[in-house]
Amino acid sequence: MAEPIERNLGLDLVRVTETAALGAGRWLGRGDKEKVDQAAVDGMRLHLSTMEIDGEVIIGEGEKDEAPMLYNGERVGSGSGMVVDVAVDPVDGTTLTAEGLPGAIAVIALAEGRGTMYAPGSLVYMDKIAVGPEAAGMIDLDAPLEHNLQQVAKANGKDMADLRCLVLDRPRNQGYIDAARAAGARISVLRDGDVAAAIATSQQNHEADILIGIGGSPEAVLAAAALQCTGGEIQCRLWPRDQTERNYAMDNGLDLDQVMTTDDLVSSDNVFFAATGVTGGEFLRRVNFKGDR
């Protein structure tokens, strides 16, 4: 009697993100980001339900009352098999997709065990620095940006003038942009999509060398899962927007000065990550529809 074919969890996750990307891609440039997100969520959840995992969504589409599917705390999978924490972003870049712009991707990560992924709660932003495997172990979020840029340039065998920094185009990141320019580095300013940007630093023959700046906390956890797999590194610090969020941190015993490492964000030794391009860009190609395929 033939042995049953063992399912590959990594390939299952690829199908999850592919289905999400195919759904979202139908709404490219049609100006409705809610439809983009819903199509991706529907596709992602459909495939997750077939996977032999006992999963809990740690990073999802919000709280149960705010999101119809894939909310924080939702159980996914068959309920049997590997126990995992789950982080999803059905479309990292819903606005990009709705407006027909590059850079959007569908993303999922699993980490074996319970409590192996950091749950940011109500603090939705983090100050971040992320690099590929060449510069892993050489960055320090507490150090001046110029020092980190020098370290990364050295690790990648580049002159400072050849270094390429990725940063989200937000007023809160203007200090980073000014400091990188003053140091003599090149900058690519991104409208959205810092998960893809963090991963881009780990690509083979990568052109991007470092991600810097303040972006989403859920995206930091997803990026950490990816960098666990590639050998890159991310360092983060919680970034409260106002006194209400500072009070939340104090009430919940959160240290706003702590620098969190890749392992702090994703502590499991067994991590899976998959991403599929939706609108294309430097990291992954876009979904193309050609009539019969």
Structural domain that includes position 48? 9-117
Other beta carbons within 10 Å of 107: 30
40 & 133 share domain = no
CATH number (domain holding residue 135):
3.40.190.90
Statement: the pTM of the whole predicted model exceeds 0.85: yes
Q: Within a domain: residue 220?
A: yes
Residue 68: what pLDDT? 58
Q: Which of 89, 117, 145 is the last residue of a domain?
A: 117
Q: Which of 64, 95, 117 is the last residue of a domain?
A: 117
261 & 142 share domain = yes
137 & 190 share domain = yes
Contact 131, 232 (CB under 8 A): yes
Handedness of CA 65, 69, 71, 76 (dihedral sign): positive
159 & 102 share domain = no
195 & 65 share domain = no
Which of the given ranges, 59-63, 187-191, 236-240, has the highest pLDDT on average? 236-240
Q: Which of 86, 117, 148 is the last residue of a domain?
A: 117
Give per-residue pLDDT as tens, 29-81: 999 999 999 999 999 988 898 899 999 999 987 665 455 578 889 999 988 88
C-alpha dihedral over 168, 268, 271, 6, to 10 degrees? -160
108 & 173 share domain = no
